[in-house]
Structure 1
Amino acid sequence: MIGRLFSLVIDCPDPSELAGFYESLLSMPRVEDSPDYVVLADPAGTQMVTFQRVGDYRPPSWRDPERPARAHVDVLVGDLDVAQEQVLALGATLLEGSDKPVGYRVYADPVGHPFCLITQESIVPGA
């Protein structure tokens, strides 16, 4: 092993606002909070998501080669329809053409980063 994942870092125009979206989505509390940098972590401190302010932020565009998504988050959920209602209420947007395989849908967070809601069915067919 060369190392271990320390944090997933997401660029955005307003770290506090976007962190609020992911706090609700992932049930991870803030452990660091400043105007330019917000960190969420699980209770053990082994999984972290960091949000950093980027000037002149340009959101990715789903399937647009001029502004591609460089990475995205997969969130495992129990019930895709229930989770969809919840993320839409938080400010997410269902992306067109994302309702493809069973147990898998693609959304954009409030600043345009794509993320997926997935169920066990999409990981293990027939589960």
Structure 2
Amino acid sequence: MTTQTTPAFRFAAVTFDCADPAALSRFYAGLLGYRALFSTDDFILLGTEGTPGLGFTRVADYRPPTWPDSAQGKQAHVELGVDDLEAAERRALELGATKPEFQPGEKRWTVLLDPAGHPFCVTTLA
């Protein structure tokens, strides 16, 4: 009789749909200090060896989220921990993020939109 072992799963990455993987990966590489671990014309994986990464995959008919309006749902978002909320917001905006008018975080976090329209949060709570 053979014993079956349970496979060990580990978190590898979150992948975002987008129209331009190269452009969106440049934004997140600048924000997080990640580098490309794998790259094709249609997919780029950013990260550092041995840690979870971020992937970006080309979708021909990509439509950005319309957050906070639910007409085109936000699809997914990431939470980024920071020490200085204002400095982090400034840096993200310099790299091409935008800040929507609606901010539900009551100064605990800030919602920003990446260049492809995906919401992401920066927070001192993480």
TM-score (structure 2 length as normaliser): 0.88
Q: 2:43 aligns to what? A: 37
Q: Offset at 1:103?
A: 2.6
SS at match of 1:16: helix
1:42-53 to 2 correspondences below 5 Å: 42=48, 44-53=49-58
Q: Offset at 1:101?
A: 2.3
Q: 2:3 aligns to what? A: none
Deviation track 1:3-51 (CA, whole Å, cap 9, x = no partner) reads 2212101000010100000001111111112210111012x32211110
Is the aligned partner of 1:8 residue 2:25?
no
Q: Offset at 1:96?
A: 1.3
Deviation track 1:58-96 (CA, whole Å, cap 9, x = no partner) reads 000112222011210111111011111111010101111
Moved more, 64-73 or 11-20: 64-73
Give the Cα separation in 2 of the matches to 1:84 and 1:65.
24
1:1-127 to 2 correspondences below 5 Å: 3-42=9-48, 44-98=49-103, 100-120=105-125, 123=126
Give the Cα separation in 2 of the matches to 1:112 and 1:5.
24
SS at match of 2:22: helix
- Number of corresponding residues: 120
Unaligned runs of 5+ in 2: 1-5
Give the Cα separation in 2 of the matches to 1:52 and 1:103.
31
Give the Cα separation in 1 of the matches to 2:37 and 2:45.
6
Moved more, 2-11 or 55-64: 2-11
Maintained 8 Å contact 2:68/2:102: no
Percent identical among aligned pairs is 38
State the superposition RMSD in angstroms. 1.6
Unaligned runs of 5+ in 1: none
Moved more, 46-55 or 99-108: 99-108
Give the Cα separation in 2 of the matches to 1:95 and 1:45.
34
